[in-house]
């Protein structure tokens, strides 16, 4: 066992921690607002909303969500993945 409780000898079941992150839905018309919110991680160039992630630049497409993670990182996520993983946390969560 490691200090995380995950075995190095065999797989174990784990649960994703319930954390609250921020999301901005990109509808194709609000790229400037998302880029401003994301600061240096977001830019709108030649009609594309580009999000700089830990893995490099990714283009967000209309319908995608742009997320700010627990370490301040930004990343786009597809609508179906968003629906599968996230739910509203309520104001002030």
In a domain, 50, yes or no: yes
End-to-end CA distance of the chain: 33
In a domain, 19, yes or no: no
In a domain, 77, yes or no: yes
In a domain, 16, yes or no: no
Looking at the structure of the chain, the number of domains it has is 1
State pTM to two decimals: 0.81
In a domain, 4, yes or no: no
- Length in residues, the chain: 93
How would residue 15 be classed by pLDDT, with cut points 50, 70 and 90? confident
pLDDT, mean of residues 24-49 = 95
Domain that holds residue 45: 33-85
Q: Using the CB atoms, write b or e for 19-44: b if 16+ within 10 Å.
A: eeeeebebeeebbeebbeebeebbbb
In a domain, 3, yes or no: no
Report d(CA 51, CA 35) in Å as an integer.
8
How would residue 77 be classed by pLDDT, with cut points 50, 70 and 90? very high
In a domain, 67, yes or no: yes
Contact 66, 38 (CB under 8 A): yes
In a domain, 52, yes or no: yes
Q: What is the pLDDT of residue 1?
A: 53
How would residue 88 be classed by pLDDT, with cut points 50, 70 and 90? confident
Report d(CA 3, CA 75) in Å as an integer.
28
């Amino acid at each position: 066992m490691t200090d995380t409780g995950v075995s190095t000898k065999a797989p174990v079941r784990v649960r994703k921690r319930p954390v609250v992150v921020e999301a901005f839905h990109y509808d194709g018309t609000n790229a400037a607002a998302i880029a401003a919110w994301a600061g240096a991680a977001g830019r709108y160039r030649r009609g594309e909303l580009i999000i700089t992630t830990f893995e490099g630049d990714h283009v967000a497409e209309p319908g995608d969500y742009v997320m700010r993670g627990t370490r301040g990182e930004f990343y786009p996520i597809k609508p179906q993945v968003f629906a599968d993983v996230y739910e509203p946390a309520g104001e002030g969560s």
